[in-house]
Chain A
Amino acid sequence: MLGVIFFYVFAAAVVVGAFAMVFTKNLVHAALFMAGTFLMIAFLYILMGADYVGAVQILVYVGAISILFVFGIMLTKRDRIEDSNRFNRYGPAATVVAILLFASIVITTLGAAIRNAPAPTGDSTIQTIANIFLSDYVLAFEFAGILLLSALVGAIVIGQGQLKRTTKLRPAAGGGVQGGGGALGGGAGVGLGQSTKGGDK
């Protein structure tokens, strides 16, 4: 009985958070609503007995991805943050598509004959999941590690800006290229390289 009440409370919070995320005007508020929605979904996982998935959801989604989104919003400044989460011109069409998709999913779901299994025992799932990861899905587990490594390297490579240029590309007025490069570069070797590159320009 308590599980039923908890389910409806968390489900209502999830739905409200999702709608607020899409329909709020402020992008930062949308990111925070998204974090709240993910937190409520984690509670639903725990309610289903999937405690490890719930913990991972809180750690990864609420702790990392939401904050990463906030960073992304803060690093891409725009004119007015209060009006930063607008719809494009496909809003009405997308609403129709979403409603039709929802109707078809619900009709299919309610028409299916589902036999619910009894509730599992309340043991922790960590041991079982660890056994699955290191026996049945060990190849996928290793590939997930490789994927994370490549995503790390890719994010650094894509996200780094142009490396800060020194004075060598400053358009030289008159003939002061070599002297200027040599004087402004700190070390002798660096200054020499800059001056020769500047001379090519």
Chain B
Amino acid sequence: MIGLAHYLVLAAILFCVGLLGAIAKKNAIAVFMGVELMLNSVNLNLVAFNRFLHPEFLGGQAFAIFVIVVAAAEVSVGLAIILALYRRKANTSVDDIDLLKW
């Protein structure tokens, strides 16, 4: 029978792959994709905990929807920032974005 541990291990795989993409990618958009994958794994954890620990109260699912809202806001603003940076520096490599570096 599929239990909570299955979903937790699956979410752990997703989180670690997303972390790998977020740390080790050159392109800022690919870094964003890794962050999205990590957010999704957290959502999977929230819904799984809700389903397997307290299925009578749906607070975990409500929290997952809040996470989706914040992720949508983050992606829209983040892609706008990447576009503005691209207009300014003509590439999107995170190694070259050092405007705030002291």
Contact = CB atoms under 8 A, between A and B. Distances in A.
Interface stretch (A14-22, A163-171, A174-182): A14-22
A158 B19 contact: no
Interface residues of A, number: 85
B65 A148 contact: no
Interface in B16-75: 16-21, 23-27, 29-30, 32-34, 36-37, 40, 43-44, 47-48, 50-56, 58-59, 61-62, 64-66, 68-75
Contacts of A133: 62
Nearest to B84: A158
Nearest to A162: B87
B65 A53 contact: yes
A75 B86 contact: yes
Nearest to A19: B17
Given A88-B24, A161-B87, A155 B80 contact: yes
Interface of B: 1-10, 12-21, 23-27, 29-30, 32-34, 36-37, 40, 43-44, 47-48, 50-56, 58-59, 61-62, 64-66, 68-77, 79-84, 86-87, 91-92, 94-95
8 contacts: A41-B40, A44-B10, A50-B50, A57-B68, A68-B75, A98-B17, A105-B16, A151-B72
Interface of A: 3-4, 7, 11, 14-15, 18-19, 21-22, 27, 30-31, 34, 37-38, 41, 44-45, 48-50, 52-53, 56-57, 60-61, 64-65, 68-69, 71-73, 75-76, 78, 84-88, 90-91, 93-95, 97-99, 101-102, 105-106, 109-110, 112, 114, 116-120, 125, 128-129, 132-133, 136-137, 140, 144, 147-148, 150-152, 154-156, 158-159, 161-162
Given A69-B79, A94-B23, 20 more contacts: A21-B33, A27-B27, A30-B30, A41-B40, A44-B10, A49-B55, A50-B50, A68-B79, A72-B79, A99-B16, A101-B19, A102-B13, A109-B8, A132-B58, A136-B59, A140-B66, A151-B76, A155-B76, A156-B80, A158-B77
